[in-house]
A and B are shown apart, each in its own frame.
Chain A
């Protein structure tokens, strides 16, 4: 049975969950053209400090009466293989961290370790990334050999009974290949498919001409939604800003941005961001702690107040379901409260 079903993570609602996206390193063995990193790895913490961060996550979610969930990622987290396994061992024993995903490019996962990986009780999924249904499209963005490597990793993980998720960053490079990618994910037995928009930041800022126009995004999202509700071979995660515009009455479609609401991103040196795609430092978990950051950050309080939204987001009648992507606003206009520039309304 897949871990996904054993842990029943779908039972957690946004109100019950507090999510940490944790980058334990920025080092990576690939150099994807659309990456939100700037390609210059910074300082990273040793294992004792990482374990202290887990203690602080637990302290926070206990106080808030929530269940903690995590994604552990990088860079490429398998470049810290031993530390990654130590962190998994620690979280497996937690009484308040419900589950974690590992976000990896998959290239460093060894066949000999998948059985060990499958034994981690709180591991929900391993997420890998594909940018297209063909090596030609995928490798144009992620580098030569990436497609074959990623598909091999999916099969390796599936064979070990580990649930696999695929993440795709939508741009002009691959927008026409999304339906084929959904088919591929289905054929490979992928559990979920997450689709994010290309944000022109980090290395990806050089691809700003590949960011979809509002009308292009609308067309792509309509196509995805049509497949998702008409027998998609893979579960497509539709709880992202702007999806709500397609079906405002459907609670499974669209979601408020989690920045300032129920999520934080932790960088390799302990710096905390509202979201990985919104890299504004709001403190350091080791020196400030989560309480001071969560309660005191002016950035978070600005994000929480919809009256601070600009442009058409401020007046939108879907403001309780969608406030756009703050990172897209930030990297397009310089103001993270500006209207989402890809909104087609």
Chain B
């Protein structure tokens, strides 16, 4: 898992906007300030959308396991990948420890 405490609160970075066309299985994250654009899969979109609602890492992990009906180990692996992508590309940020 990422080097984050479970109590860490996550948020979308300013200027990030999520968009989706579910009928076409198209999911995106956009930075409306610098124009960066990212194509997402449904799982990554769900994670970012949930982060946009304002959750801690613990809350996100719990909801993620329930949403996709997966075991904690798989959930951690998938979340690590999505959160790493989000932080690396300045899509998400930690707002408090």
Interface residues of A (CB under 8 A from B): 59-60, 63-64, 289-292, 295-296, 301, 304-307
Q: Does B17 contact A (CB under 8 A)?
A: yes
A175 to B76 CA separation, bound complex (whole angstroms)? 66
Q: CB distance B23 to A60 under 8 Å?
A: no
Q: Nearest CB to that of A293 among chain B residues?
A: B32
Give the Cβ gap from B25 to chain A, nearest Cβ, in Å: 12
A289 to B17 CA separation, bound complex (whole angstroms)? 15
Q: Which of A59, A291, A307 has the most CB of B within 10 A?
A: A291
Give the Cβ gap from A254 to chain B, nearest Cβ, in Å: 21
Given the known inter-chain contacts A295-B17, A295-B37, A296-B17, please indicate yes or no for A307 contacting B32, CB distance below 8 A: no
A59 to B19 CA separation, bound complex (whole angstroms)? 21
Give the Cβ gap from A115 to chain B, nearest Cβ, in Å: 39
Q: Chain B residues near A64: list those with CB within 8 A.
A: 35, 37
A306 to B28 CA separation, bound complex (whole angstroms)? 17
Q: Chain A residues near B31: list those with CB within 8 A.
A: 291
Q: Nearest CB to that of A59 among chain B residues?
A: B35
Q: Chain B residues near A301: list those with CB within 8 A.
A: 19, 21
A65 to B64 CA separation, bound complex (whole angstroms)? 35
Q: Which of B21, B24, B35, B36 has the most CB of A within 10 A?
A: B35
Q: Chain A residues near B23: list those with CB within 8 A.
A: 305-307
Give the Cβ gap from A287 to chain B, nearest Cβ, in Å: 13
Q: Chain B residues near A306: list those with CB within 8 A.
A: 23-24
A contact face: mostly helix, strand, loop, or mixed: helix
Q: Chain A residues near B21: list those with CB within 8 A.
A: 301, 304-305, 307
Given the known inter-chain contacts A296-B17, A301-B19, please indicate yes or no for A291 contacting B32, CB distance below 8 A: yes
Q: CB distance A292 to B19 under 8 Å?
A: no
Docked complex: B52-66 residues within 8 A CB-CB of A: none
User: Which of A291, A296, A304 touches B34 (beta carbons < 8 Å)?
Assistant: A291
Q: Chain A residues near B36: list those with CB within 8 A.
A: 63
Q: CB distance B32 to A292 under 8 Å?
A: yes
Q: Does B30 contact A (CB under 8 A)?
A: yes
A296 to B28 CA separation, bound complex (whole angstroms)? 11
Q: Does B4 contact A (CB under 8 A)?
A: no
A306 to B37 CA separation, bound complex (whole angstroms)? 22
A291 to B33 CA separation, bound complex (whole angstroms)? 7
Give the Cβ gap from B17 to chain A, nearest Cβ, in Å: 6
Q: CB distance A291 to B19 under 8 Å?
A: no
Q: Nearest CB to that of B24 among chain A residues?
A: A305
Give the Cβ gap from A92 to chain B, nearest Cβ, in Å: 24
Q: Nearest CB to that of B35 among chain A residues?
A: A63
Sorted from nearest, which 3 A-B pairs have the closest CB atoms? A63-B35, A295-B30, A292-B32
Q: CB distance A295 to B19 under 8 Å?
A: yes
A272 to B37 CA separation, bound complex (whole angstroms)? 21
Q: CB distance A295 to B32 under 8 Å?
A: yes
Contact with A along B26-45 (1 / 0, CB 8 A): 00101111111100000000
Give the Cβ gap from B56 to chain A, nearest Cβ, in Å: 28
Q: CB distance B32 to A296 under 8 Å?
A: yes
Q: Nearest CB to that of B20 among chain A residues?
A: A301
Give the Cβ gap from B40 to chain A, nearest Cβ, in Å: 14
A213 to B52 CA separation, bound complex (whole angstroms)? 49
A181 to B35 CA separation, bound complex (whole angstroms)? 44
